[in-house]
Amino acid sequence: MYTEFISSEGLIRDAIKSRKKLDIFDYERPIGIQIFGGDEEAMALSAKIVDATQPDLLDINFGCPVKKVVCKGAGAGVLKDIDLMVRLTRAVVKSTSLPVTVKTRLGWDEKSINVMEVAERLQDEGIRALTIHGRTRAQMYKGNAEWKHIADVKNNPRIKIPIFGNGDIDSPQKALEYKNRYGVDGIMIGRAAIGYPWIFNEVKHFFKTGTELPKPDIKNRVEVCKAHLKKSVEWKGEKFGVLEMRSHYANYFRGIPDFKETRMKLVSYNTLAEIEGVLDEIIAVRA
């Protein structure tokens, strides 16, 4: 498991929002803290701060395609300058006693797919594993992830570190198919877990047994959604905790017939009590 990625600049400025993201609990282990940034000194200093919180590993994000991150020369923005990516990685590796891993993309665009060079050079800097999202920055999250490029990196005899694949894994069957077809050491799941945290146990169970776990029933969905909502409010306060949850309800209750009216209530009500009332109503009517 990984934390939400954290701005190296924010950590150094002691931004309360950034520092709070360093909170980790023993039941979450093994856990990595992920940082991003485009300045060597800031990345080195933030690595030292992370080191003091004692996660199990430190991950560098060279893959986020979001404009406000890329415009700062961070995330996938670094894919335009591999020399800078190498210097940033070196600064982090030298500044921490933790294992350092990296997540990146295939390249900036279709004409500049450079993930093979990235993998070789970052391995030489001492990273311990590499996760590759099978899209370029230009693709954002559109089209299909190109796992062939991930397999090419994995099959490169120069590469000795674990290679993890990422992109489009939304079912246990697909996870196993892609792991076998492309020979990766493991798989990262991101968007498919939003509003559906059961996917991780489903994948692990399918890998072990070849059988599917039963899908969560409506009561289980509501209980987990409620727990998520409460944690969100505890973390960000009622106003922002409630707002942040709005993007999750569609996935929590996907496939439930005649749900539009209920979903509109969930995304329009502004208090914890109101939304918990709607969730209780779902169980009363549908469970």
| Catalytic residue positions, numbered | 64
Identity of the amino acid at 102: V
The Cα–Cα gap between 45 and 63 comes to 21
> Are residues 213 and 201 in contact, defined by beta-carbon separation less than 8 angstroms?
yes
- Tokens 């309800």 correspond to what residue? 249
The Cα–Cα gap between 253 and 57 comes to 34
The Cα–Cα gap between 79 and 112 comes to 9
- How many Cβ atoms from other residues are within 10 Å of residue 31's Cβ? 15
The Cα–Cα gap between 104 and 205 comes to 28
Identity of the amino acid at 256: I
> Are residues 154 and 132 in contact, defined by beta-carbon separation less than 8 angstroms?
no
Nearest to 100 by CA among 70, 123, 77, 76: 123
> Are residues 60 and 35 in contact, defined by beta-carbon separation less than 8 angstroms?
yes
> Which contiguous run of DSSP H or E holds residue 105?
strand 100-105
- How many Cβ atoms from other residues are within 10 Å of residue 117's Cβ? 13
> Are residues 254 and 195 in contact, defined by beta-carbon separation less than 8 angstroms?
yes
